[in-house]
Structure 1
């Protein structure tokens, strides 16, 4: 069940490479268009998808919590594709979302800023100054998304197995390198263990999503641990009512056989400036 993840800077030509690799390997390419196609089946409309896709939540208002819940929905879509294997996941922090899996090839595409500006301007028929602004904003947004959501430096090479500078390497050379790497036997090993791990990730995301949607639970200051059909909630809540609500939400989700309660009630007096 080989999985390839693609991290890219805007203007590197990464999509064309990913599309050709998917064609060569006969893998499914999961990009923004594929997610948009499937999102309505998960209760996520196009407007909300555009608002939250690869943008960090902040968990302050009810709207922010809904933002985070929508991000979880996108991740569930990605995880369900990953479970099937033979897939290329384009962007969306997939290399960090799938941390712990062995059957994954993590690719990153980079290039000098001005080279990307020139390439993007030519491809999209845009003024170079506008391209600079768009690329700068894209870098900031995508880097911020990874830093906020996964607590990792987007540019850290240790987060990837292969890094391609598309200013110095042709698309054909990059394609051949990725196709060869995808045939590494390690990517086909431990399929049963990998699927079990992804199943746990999916259930964890489903639980977190439902809890985020519950306005009666003020904050999510607790950890969700999934092992098969057993879920453990640990950390703290602000009242017994919140605790009962959280446990009830989890217990009623499909796929949950048992909920272990390790939640602590911590009372506090709200501070007002």
Structure 2
């Protein structure tokens, strides 16, 4: 059940490497195009996917919460692909999404800024100044997404198992190194446990997504955990009615067998008065 995740800076040539690794290992490459293909099966409109992909919500308005629900749907697609094994998850914070899973090979691709500018401008036949602007915005957006959504520095090397500077190594050398690492016997350990962990994350994401979609829950301060089909809800809600609605929504999610209620009602208006 080999799972590989890829984090990349724009202009590093990571996509071409991912395609070749997928071909050599006979893995499924789950990139933006693949997610767009699967989106409709999860009730996610293709245009909505393009609008929210790798862009963090701010969790203030109902529209923001819907944005967060769409992002959760993208994560569920990634997770369900990961649960099948032999997969390469391309971008979208996959290495952090699967941070609880041990047998994942986490890759990162970097290169000096001007080298990436030259590579992108040549590949896309665009002006170098435009390439600089695109890369600068991409770095800001992707780094901000990881920082906001997973509370981690995108550039922290400890978040990855292998970091490749594509300006210093040939694609052939990088590909051979990845394939050797992917075949490490240690990545085969704990496959059953991995499926259980991934299934638990999926169930939590499905519950959280339905809570985000709710128009009756004003603010969501709930921590969700799952073990098999038992889902634990902890944190606080603002009224007894909101607590009951949270429990009702979570109980209705497919796959939830039992709810452990650890919610606390905290009515701030009452304390203020």
C-alpha offsets along residues 171-192 of structure 1, whole Å, 9 cap, x if unaligned? 1110010011100001111111
Question: Alpha-carbon deviation of 1:40?
Answer: 0.6
Question: Alpha-carbon deviation of 1:260?
Answer: 1.1
Partner of 1:34: 34
**Runs of 5+ consecutive residues of structure 1 not aligned to the other structure:** none
Are 2:51 and 1:62 aligned?
A: no
Q: Distance in 1 between matches of 2:178 and 2:147?
A: 26
C-alpha offsets along residues 59-99 of structure 1, whole Å, 9 cap, x if unaligned? 01111000000000000000001101110000000000001
Are 2:104 and 1:130 aligned?
A: no
Matched-pair contact (CA < 8 Å) for 1:17–1:171: yes
Partner of 1:214: 214
C-alpha offsets along residues 38-77 of structure 1, whole Å, 9 cap, x if unaligned? 0011000111101110111110111100000000000000
Are 2:79 and 1:79 aligned?
A: yes
Q: Distance in 1 between matches of 2:200 and 2:162?
A: 27
Partner of 1:12: 12
Q: Normalized against structure 2, the TM-score is what? A: 0.98
Q: Distance in 1 between matches of 2:222 and 2:40?
A: 29
Matched-pair contact (CA < 8 Å) for 1:102–1:186: no
Partner of 1:188: 188
Matched-pair contact (CA < 8 Å) for 1:233–1:261: yes
Partner of 1:250: 250
Report the number of matched residues.
270
Question: Alpha-carbon deviation of 1:251?
Answer: 1.2
Question: Alpha-carbon deviation of 1:269?
Answer: 2.8
Partner of 2:101: 101
Describe the SS at the equivalent of 1:269: helix
Q: Distance in 1 between matches of 2:253 and 2:92?
A: 26
Partner of 1:260: 260
**Runs of 5+ consecutive residues of structure 2 not aligned to the other structure:** none
Question: Alpha-carbon deviation of 1:101?
Answer: 1.0
Q: Distance in 2 between matches of 1:252 and 1:80?
A: 20
Describe the SS at the equivalent of 1:85: coil
Q: Normalized against structure 1, the TM-score is what? A: 0.98
Partner of 1:90: 90
Question: Alpha-carbon deviation of 1:156?
Answer: 0.2
Partner of 1:229: 229
Give runs of ≥4 in structure 1 deviating > 2 Å: none
